[in-house]
C-alpha cells in the first residue's frame, strides 16, 4: 500500500498527458476538415495553449490553500465534461469548439500543476526519495509524448476527430477517478484568516524575486524554451529543406530525443541520487541543449545529427529530474504551489515568440548565422546556473513535511534575507 499514492499520481499523469497528446492531433485535424483553413486551425489551437501557464500561476494560492488533490480532480472533471459536448450536441460549430478548448486550457493548467505538486509528497509516502519520484514522473511524461502522439494519430485516423475527443474525455475521467481513490492531500497552508488571495499571490512572487538561484534557473528556462521553439518551429525544418532532406529526418531526430530521454529518466529514478549534482547538470545541459543547434550549424550529415539528438535525449532525461528535485528542496511546502506555478508561467513566456525570433534571425543573417547565434545563446543560458546555484545535497533530502520546510528555510536563508532560500518543467 506504500506505493498506492505514487502509483496513482503517475497513472493519473499518464492518462492526462495521453489525453492532451490526443487533443494536439485531433483538434487541428477536426478544424482542418471543417474549414480547410490553416489560419483558423492555428487560432483554435492557440485558444487551448495560451491559458495553460497563466491559469497555473493564478491557481498557485489555491493549490497551497485547498490542496492539489482537489484542484487536480476538479480540473480534469471540467475538461472531461467539456469534451463530451460533441457527443451530446453533435458536431459543434467552430465558435463552440474554440470556446470548449479555451475552457479545457484554463482547467488543464491548474490540474497539471496539481499533479506535479503531488509527486514529491506521494514519493515520501512510498518511502522513496524526491529524485526517484520526479524521475519516474519525467519518464511518464516522455513516454506519453513519444507513444501517446502515435496512438493519437491512429485513433484520429480510425475514429475521426470528433469521436477522438470522447476518448480524451474518458482518459480524463479515469485520471479523476484514480486521483480521488488513491491520493491523499499533503498538509495544506491555512495561512492567516485575513490573508487575501492577492496577498498570497504576492508572497509567492516575492519569494522568487528574493531568491537569486531560483531566478537564475527561471531565466535559463525562459531563454532555452524560446530557443527550443525557434529550433523546432523554424530552424530545424529550414535546415532539412536546405539540405535536401524531407520531413522524415526531422521526425526521426525528434523521436530519437524522446525515446532516449525515457531511458535516461528511468536511470535517473534508479540511481540519480548517487550522481554528483553539478557535474550531472553540466553534462545533461551541454549534451541536450546547444549541441542540438550547433550540430546543424556545422553542416554535419543527417546520420550524425540523429546520433547527437540521441545523446541530447539522454542528457535531457538526466538533468530535468534534477532541476525539479532542486525546486522541491528549495521551496517551502507552504509556498510550493505559488512559486512553482510562477516559475512555470515564466518558463512558458518565451515559447510564443520563439518561432518569430527564429524567423527574424533567418531574415537578418541566414540559416548558418541564426544557428550559431541560437547555439551560443543557449550555451550562455545553461552555464549561468552552474555558478549561481549551490548544488550540494541538503541534510535531509526527504520530501517536505512542514516543520522540515521551516528548517530548510532557516538553514539556507542568507544573512538578512527575510524570504530568501538560496539554491535551486516542454
Q: Name the fold adopted by 202-412.
A: Growth Hormone; Chain: A; (1.20.1250)
Look at residue 52 in the predicted model and tell me its pLDDT. 84
Q: What residue spans define the domains of the chain? A: 4-185, 202-412
Look at residue 87 in the predicted model and tell me its pLDDT. 66
Look at residue 269 in the predicted model and tell me its pLDDT. 85
Query: What would the mean pLDDT of 87-109 be, rounded to a whole number?
Result: 82
pLDDT for 44 beyond 50: yes
- What is the three-state SS of 230-285? HHHHHHHHHHHHHCCCCHHHHHHHHHHHHHHHHHHHHHHHHHHHHCCHHHHHHHHH
Look at residue 187 in the predicted model and tell me its pLDDT. 64
- pLDDT category at 425 given cuts 50, 70, 90 is very low
Look at residue 234 in the predicted model and tell me its pLDDT. 86
Look at residue 406 in the predicted model and tell me its pLDDT. 40
pLDDT for 273 beyond 70: yes
Look at residue 127 in the predicted model and tell me its pLDDT. 86
Q: Which residue has the higher pLDDT, 406 or 108?
A: 108
- pLDDT category at 405 given cuts 50, 70, 90 is very low
- What is the three-state SS of the chain? CCCHHHHHHHHHHHHHHHHHHHHHHHHHHHHHHHHCCHHHHHHHHHHHHCHHHHHHHHHHHHHHHHCHHHHHHHHHHHHHHHHCHHHHHCCCCHHHHHHHHHHHHHHHHHHHHHHHHHHHHHHHHCCCCHHHHHHHHHHHHHHHHHHHHHHHHHHHHHHCHHHHHHHHHHHHHHHHHHHHHHCCCCCCCCCCCCCCHHHHHHHHHHHHHCCHHHHHHHHHHHHHHHHHHHHHHHHHHHHHHHCCCCHHHHHHHHHHHHHHHHHHHHHHHHHHHHCCHHHHHHHHHHHHCHHHHHHHHCCCCHHHHHHHHHHHHHHHHHHHHHHHHHHHHHCCHHHHHHHHHHHHHHHHHCHHHHHHHHHHHHHHHHHHHHHHHHHHHHHHHHHHHHHHCCCCCCCCCCCCCHHHHHHHHHHHCCCCCCCCCCCCCC
Say yes or no: do domains 4-185 and 202-412 share a fold.
yes
Query: What would the mean pLDDT of 350-369 be, rounded to a whole number?
Result: 88
- pLDDT category at 174 given cuts 50, 70, 90 is very high
Look at residue 129 in the predicted model and tell me its pLDDT. 85
Query: What would the mean pLDDT of 16-38 be, rounded to a whole number?
Result: 80
pLDDT for 398 beyond 70: no
Least confident of 144-158, 161-175, 310-324: 144-158
Look at residue 395 in the predicted model and tell me its pLDDT. 61
- Cα separation, 228 vs 350, in Å, equals 10
pLDDT for 34 beyond 80: no
- Cα separation, 18 vs 145, in Å, equals 8
Look at residue 1 in the predicted model and tell me its pLDDT. 57
Query: What would the mean pLDDT of 145-149 be, rounded to a whole number?
Result: 75
Query: What would the mean pLDDT of 76-99 be, rounded to a whole number?
Result: 82
- pLDDT category at 426 given cuts 50, 70, 90 is very low
Cell of 161: 476527430
**Architecture per CATH, 4-185:** Up-down Bundle (1.20)
pLDDT for 386 beyond 50: yes
pLDDT for 49 beyond 80: no
Q: Write the pLDDT tens digit of every residue in 300-343.
A: 898 999 999 999 999 888 888 889 888 988 898 888 889 999 99
Q: Write the pLDDT tens digit of every residue in 175-204.
A: 999 999 998 877 665 555 567 889 889 999
Q: Which residue has the higher pLDDT, 32 or 65?
A: 65
Share of the chain above pLDDT 90, in %: 28
pLDDT for 141 beyond 80: yes
Q: Helices 68-83 and 94-125, interaxial angle, to 10°?
A: 150
Q: Write the pLDDT tens digit of every residue in 210-268.
A: 988 899 999 999 999 999 988 888 888 889 888 888 777 887 888 888 888 888 888 88
pLDDT for 414 beyond 60: no
- Cα separation, 122 vs 118, in Å, equals 6
Mean pLDDT of the chain: 82
pLDDT for 62 beyond 70: yes
Query: What would the mean pLDDT of 356-367 be, rounded to a whole number?
Result: 89
Amino acid at each position: 500500500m506504500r506505493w498506492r499514492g505514487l502509483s496513482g499520481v503517475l497513472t493519473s499523469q499518464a492518462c492526462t498527458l495521453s489525453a492532451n497528446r490526443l487533443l494536439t492531433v485531433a483538434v487541428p485535424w477536426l478544424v482542418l476538415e471543417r474549414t480547410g483553413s490553416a489560419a483558423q486551425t492555428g487560432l483554435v489551437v492557440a485558444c487551448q495553449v495560451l491559458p495553460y501557464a497563466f491559469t497555473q500561476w493564478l491557481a498557485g494560492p489555491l493549490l497551497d490553500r485547498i490542496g492539489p488533490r482537489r484542484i487536480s480532480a476538479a480540473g480534469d472533471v471540467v475538461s472531461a465534461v467539456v469534451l463530451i459536448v460533441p457527443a451530446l450536441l453533435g458536431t459543434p460549430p467552430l465558435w463552440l469548439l474554440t470556446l470548449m478548448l479555451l475552457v479545457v486550457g484554463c482547467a488543464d493548467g491548474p490540474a497539471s500543476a496539481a499533479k506535479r505538486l503531488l509527486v514529491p509528497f506521494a514519493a515520501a509516502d512510498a518511502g522513496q526519495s524526491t529524485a526517484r519520484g520526479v524521475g519516474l514522473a519525467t519518464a511518464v511524461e516522455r513516454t506519453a509524448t513519444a507513444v501517446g502522439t502515435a496512438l493519437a494519430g491512429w485513433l484520429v485516423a480510425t475514429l475521426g476527430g470528433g469521436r477522438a475527443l470522447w476518448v480524451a474525455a474518458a482518459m480524463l475521467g479515469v485520471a479523476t477517478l484514480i486521483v480521488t481513490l488513491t491520493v491523499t492531500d499533503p498538509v495544506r497552508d491555512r495561512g492567516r484568516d485575513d490573508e487575501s488571495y492577492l496577498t498570497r499571490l504576492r508572497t509567492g512572487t516575492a519569494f522568487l524575486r528574493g531568491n537569486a538561484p531560483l531566478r537564475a534557473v527561471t531565466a535559463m528556462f525562459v531563454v532555452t524554451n524560446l530557443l527550443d521553439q525557434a529550433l523546432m518551429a523554424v530552424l530545424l525544418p529550414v535546415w532539412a529543406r536546405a539540405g535536401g532532406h524531407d520531413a522524415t529526418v526531422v521526425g526521426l531526430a525528434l523521436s530519437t530525443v524522446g525515446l532516449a530521454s525515457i531511458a535516461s529518466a528511468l536511470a535517473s529514478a534508479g540511481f540519480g541520487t548517487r550522481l554528483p549534482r553539478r557535474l550531472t547538470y553540466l553534462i545533461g545541459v551541454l549534451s541536450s541543449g546547444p549541441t542540438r543547434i550547433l550540430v546543424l550549424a556545422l553542416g554535419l550529415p543527417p546520420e550524425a545529427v540523429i546520433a547527437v539528438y540521441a545523446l541530447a535525449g539522454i542528457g535531457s532525461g538526466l538533468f530535468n529530474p534534477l532541476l525539479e528535485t532542486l525546486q522541491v528542496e528549495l521551496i517551502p511546502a507552504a509556498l510550493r504551489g505559488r512559486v512553482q506555478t510562477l516559475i512555470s508561467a515564466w518558463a512558458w513566456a518565451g515559447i510564443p515568440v520563439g518561432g518569430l525570433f527564429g524567423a527574424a534571425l533567418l531574415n537578418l543573417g541566414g540559416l548558418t548565422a541564426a544557428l550559431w547565434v541560437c547555439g551560443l545563446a543557449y550555451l550562455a543560458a545553461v552555464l549561468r546556473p552552474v555558478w549561481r546555484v549551490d548544488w550540494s545535497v541538503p541534510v535531509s533530502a526527504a520530501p517536505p513535511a512542514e516543520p522540515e520546510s521551516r528548517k530548510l528555510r532557516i538553514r539556507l536563508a542568507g544573512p538578512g534575507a527575510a524570504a530568501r532560500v538560496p539554491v535551486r518543467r516542454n
